[in-house]
Chain A
Amino acid sequence: MTDTTTHPATLEIEGRIATLTLNRPEKRNALSRELISALREHVETVRHKEGVSVLLLRGAGRSFCAGMDLKAVLKEPGAPLELLSGIAELTIEMRTMPQVVVADVRGAAIGGGCGLVGVADLAITHPDAKLGYPEVDLGVCPAVVAPWLVQSVGAGVARRILLQGGTLSGQRAYELGLVSHCVPVEEIDRVLKSLTDRLARAGIRALAATKGLLGDLEAERIHAAVREGAKISADVIASPEAQERLAKLYG
């Protein structure tokens, strides 16, 4: 077994299902550089496991993911761009891996954390969960997640969600198409098990070919936009408006 106290992300593989856990519960699984690197390494490992057809993404503790750990890097010039570029690459890797990515979203998925939900092929949450992209409220531009959100919920709804900022309930996220399943929290385990079992029974090649085609339809344009988004977002973080708000938040 892996030593969970020192690993920011843990990977367990059982049969056709790989479970990747964000493991910084004391920081509500905020995406630090170390966590992002660990997630990318594990995604790379799973990508090459031919007998695995499902990647289940979950968070240890009460929250799925509180978003980017900006506090840790704010004072270092260049660090926000590095962090955002890491998230951009992680999302592209999750999207292009042959496995079906399922997000198990409990508690909260905020900012970059909600970005991971938007990249997942399927996502389950509960009606009173908190999801959303409050970036604009902090003077930050959610540029990396925007191309994915436009893809998944459509340009009109994405525009509304990102410009309005704030957070949404799990129920509202379900109505807007941000997640595929919304059930009472005590039923998540059961519904998730029947979902992953169903996926595990499906043809591995059929799933991979379907996901591959959907990826091809998105084309390189999206990947280029996601990478460009990291630069835009870092640029906006460096603006006085964002610096002032972030200083207040972390002050």
Chain B
Amino acid sequence: MIRTERYDSQMPGVGAVVLDRPERRNALDEFALRDLSLELGAMGADDSIRAIVLRGEGYAFCAGFDLPACLEEPARLGKMLEALAETCATIRRLRVPVVCAAQGAAIAGGCALAASCDLVITDRAAKLGYPVVTIGVSPAISAPMLSLAIGDGRARERLLDPALITGGRAQEIHLSALCVDLPEDVTPRAQLEAKRFASKPPHAIARTKAWLNEIEGTDLDDEIIKARDASLALVGNEEQRQLLASVLGNRSKKRQR
């Protein structure tokens, strides 16, 4: 479900990594996350690429993990968390800026990916946040990146309160850099911002990104691992299994009605 795009003729130097499972709102499992991390790494290592767009096909950027798969096989939730931590760290390490096109929804793991990017574009009505405590899972995994992105106070608010916020609010708290009116304008705008990055001197951009990473702390990788383990610690306990089953049960009941 992960594919790449290059826009050589219209936008030299810009590439995109695409979540392509629109019928499931681009829900990710551990295999998709691993592919995502590999594709991002490969694109970042390509000298001709100077900026990357991370986007999702369809009306939502990413609804988070593939939860029905977790219900079927509980161990997969842990694998998904591990793969998500690795992907967030990869985004941070890339030499080139990454622009996230978060139209429609960036939820849980999807919001964690967005918060790891250098720039996030969303639409006014998009839904963002971490409702995962309602299924007994801790969004701790996103805490290191989210605290950096929006500050510790706001990060606490967003990680502890399962409510979703709109794209408009996400812009107010600086989770997104820019909020456009229509969902269909998000990707073109993200591409435009990536094109702007690609037109700048690559050496200066790479050194500046690396320097910002260093200022934020060279121990970010360790923090991500610690945060991942905090999330992992809850996986498979009774509370979590019951909550997940009941949330998914309610969802399928709603669908049948």
Contact = CB atoms under 8 A, between A and B. Distances in A.
Q: Chain A interface residue count: which class?
A: 20 to 34
Contact of A136 (B118, B149, B200, B216): B200
Given A155-B149, A159-B118, A150 B215 contact: yes
Given A141-B208, A147-B215, A241-B204, A155 B148 contact: yes
A232 interface: yes
Contacts of A225: 214-215
Main secondary structure of the interface of A (DSSP, over half): helix
Interface in B139-177: 148-151, 174-175, 177
A146 B204 contact: no
B200 A146 contact: no
A150 B150 CA distance: 11
Interface string B206-227: 0111011011100000000000
A137 B200 contact: yes
Interface in B106-157: 118-119, 148-151
A66 B135 CA distance: 54
A158 interface: yes
A242 interface: yes
Given A150-B212, A160-B119, A241 B177 contact: no
B197 interface: yes
Contacts of A142: 208
A236 interface: yes
B203 A163 contact: no
Nearest to A140: B204
B191 to A, nearest CB: 15
Contacts of A154: 148-151, 174
A176 B174 CA distance: 8
A157 interface: yes
A136 B201 contact: yes
Contact of B207 (A155, A176, A236): A236
A162 B212 contact: yes
B203 A139 contact: yes
B202 interface: yes
A22 B201 CA distance: 31
A162 B196 CA distance: 13
B196 A164 contact: yes
Interface of B: 97, 118-119, 148-151, 174-175, 177, 193, 196-197, 200-205, 207-209, 211-212, 214-216
7 contacts: A136-B201, A141-B207, A143-B211, A156-B148, A158-B212, A225-B215, A242-B201
Q: Which 6 interchain pairs have the tightest Cβ spacing?
A: A156-B149, A139-B201, A155-B148, A136-B204, A241-B203, A141-B207
